[in-house]
Amino acid sequence: MQVAARDGPELESAPMRLPGVEAFYVQLDEGTFQPTQHCEGPWDPEACHGGPPSALALHEILRHDGESGLVVAQLHIDLLGPVPLSPIDFTTRTLREGRRIQLVETSGTASGRPVVNVRAWKMAVGAEGVPEIGTSATIPGPTTGTPGGAISSFPYGAAIDWSFLEGSFGEAGPSTVWATPRIPLVEEETIAPIEAAVLVADSANGISSVLPFDRYLFIPPAISTTLMRYPKEPTVAISARTQVSADGIGITRATLLDADGPFAYMQQALYVAPRP
């Protein structure tokens, strides 16, 4: 599908100024997307939060050979540097063909450099005779939590509904929060629940931070997520815990849940340092 670019030169020169657009991205052409101001993260006003480009990469993987009937079972995301608020172009290819198992990769380029690379293992579902084990644990629903507060102080955070069951953004220690995107990932498209999960999961290090946000950086260049199944709704819970070593390397581990219980586990590698 080809989508005509809307006022292309204006978007290039003022990538954050898209008045009236209530989505994280506008599709300009096949594989090319313009971020809106809603992508802006907490570290740099000129850069995207890691969640939107990660979810957009998954969006492209799901569209690639979408008739295969396979589902994403494992996702590895590499953020290759700050992702600017400028158009991003994706190239997607299948690295390993297969009727039951495939490996698909997509690479995103923005402002003339690679910014994100994602590999996804896709697997066939529906095998008979496999029992379901260890997936029944549930947590209280989002209506029992407390609002996000400070996490809504930057555009990406404000574009998500947060309901904290444990901890809060800016409070040191483990945290559990329900998160629901307020707007679509791509304009005029319904966000898939699995896309919503990746969109919010990159916040795990922020909601479970163990160091003061105003004094330290704790940035995740790599995120690995392994799924047992897809979530059923775009409302997803993140239950996260962070550890940091004196060497300046940290790890955030998180369980992703929906109303039926856990559906995925994720881990972030963190670069940790005092703020300049």
Domain annotation covers residue 65? yes
- Specify the amino acid at residue 99: R
CB 174 within 8 A of CB 194: no
Q: How confident is the model at residue 12 (pLDDT cuts 50, 70, 90)?
A: very low
**Is residue 69 predicted with pLDDT exceeding 50?**
yes
Domain annotation covers residue 116? yes
Q: How confident is the model at residue 130 (pLDDT cuts 50, 70, 90)?
A: confident
Residue 185, classified by CB atoms within 10 Å of its CB into exposed (0-12), middle (13-18) or buried (19+), is buried
* Helix%, strand%, coil% for the chain, nearest 5: 15, 40, 40
Q: What percent of the chain has pLDDT over 70?
A: 91
Domain annotation covers residue 143? yes
Q: What is the mean pLDDT of the chain?
A: 89
- Mean pLDDT computed over 74-91: 96
Q: How confident is the model at residue 67 (pLDDT cuts 50, 70, 90)?
A: low
Q: Using the CB atoms, write b or e for 43-73: b if 16+ within 10 Å.
A: beeebbbbbbbbbbbbbbbbebeeeeebbbb
What pLDDT does 19 receive? 60
- Mean pLDDT computed over 31-57: 94
Which tops the pLDDT comparison, 23 or 135? 23
Domain annotation covers residue 132? no
pTM above 0.85, yes or no: yes
CA 170 vs CA 18, 86, 115, 163, 241: distances in Å: 30, 29, 28, 14, 14
Domain annotation covers residue 3? no
Q: How confident is the model at residue 150 (pLDDT cuts 50, 70, 90)?
A: confident
Domain annotation covers residue 101? yes
What pLDDT does 135 receive? 66
pLDDT digits (tens, 9 = 90+) for 169-218: 888 999 999 999 999 999 999 999 999 999 999 999 999 999 998 899 99
Closest to 174 measured CA to CA, from 238, 222, 225, 227: 238
Domain count, the chain: 1
**Is residue 89 predicted with pLDDT exceeding 50?**
yes
Domain range enclosing 116: 8-125+139-274
Domain annotation covers residue 134? no
Longest dimension (CA), the chain: 57
CB 31 within 8 A of CB 4: no
Domain annotation covers residue 80? yes
**What CATH code is carried by the domain that includes residue 24?**
2.40.160.210
**Is residue 9 predicted with pLDDT exceeding 80?**
no
Q: In the 8-state DSSP scheme, what is residue 152?
A: G
